[in-house]
């Protein structure tokens, strides 16, 4: 979660209506980078344990995209487990992450980055510098025209 949904700084994450979110989520260009992949089920179960929620609570796919799928140091496939563990170590509380992954409010981030900042490998701790974006059933990145549309409506539901 690179941007806090309630941040007062230059806003790059917007709460949006279900309809606008679905347009961004369904866009084939919503995930920049050379590769697009899903978080393995075993990592989803580890995320649930780290967040203190019941096994099987996260049922929706957790997507990622980037220029490399694997940690450059240990070779482990990058997943949402790296995102969640990095966020817990650096920025966010468990409750916020649970709300973003499982909550009802939809969020769209419009700053499709060259790389997600501040990520490290859950297994070896090496910096992950090639992950470009991630999405779940209520969090997505908007790029190009979609980003302008989201910003144009101010993220109002």
6-30 residue pLDDT tens: 444 466 888 999 999 998 888 866 7
**In angstroms, how far is the first alpha carbon of the chain from the final one?**
21
* Residue 135 belongs to some domain of the structure: yes
Please compute Rg for the chain using Cα positions. 15
Range of the domain at 25: 13-152
Number of structural domains the chain divides into: 1
7 in any annotated domain: no
Per DSSP bridges, beta strands 63-66 and 35-38 are antiparallel
Band the pLDDT of 72: cuts 50, 70, 90.
Answer: very high
82 close to 157: Cβ distance less than 8 angstroms: no
Residue 157 forms part of a structural domain: no
Whole-number pLDDT of residue 35: 92
123: pLDDT strictly greater than 90: yes
Domain membership of residue 1 (yes or no) is no
Answer whether residue 92 is part of any domain. yes
Structural tokens at position 61? 């796919």
- pLDDT number for residue 13: 86
- Per the domain annotation, does 98 fall within a domain? yes
The answer to whether the Cα torsion of 26, 31, 35, 37 is positive or negative is negative
| pLDDT more than 90, % of the chain | 45
Determine the average pLDDT of the residues in 49-67: 93
């Amino acid at each position: 979660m690179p941007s806090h949904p309630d941040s007062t700084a230059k806003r790059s994450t917007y709460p949006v209506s279900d309809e606008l979110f679905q347009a961004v989520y369904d866009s084939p260009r919503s995930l920049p980078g050379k590769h697009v992949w899903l978080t393995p089920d075993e990592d989803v179960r580890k995320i649930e344990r780290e967040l203190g929620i019941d096994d099987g609570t996260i049922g929706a796919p957790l997507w990622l995209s980037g220029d490399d799928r694997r940690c450059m140091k240990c070779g482990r496939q990058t997943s949402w487990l790296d995102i969640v563990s990095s966020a817990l170590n650096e920025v966010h509380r468990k409750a916020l992450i649970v709300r973003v992954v499982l909550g009802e409010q939809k969020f769209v981030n419009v700053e499709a980055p060259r790389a997600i900042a501040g990520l490290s490998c859950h297994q070896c701790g090496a910096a992950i510098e090639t992950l470009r974006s991630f999405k779940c059933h209520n969090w997505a990145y908007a790029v190009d025209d979609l980003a302008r549309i989201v910003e144009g409506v101010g993220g109002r539901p």
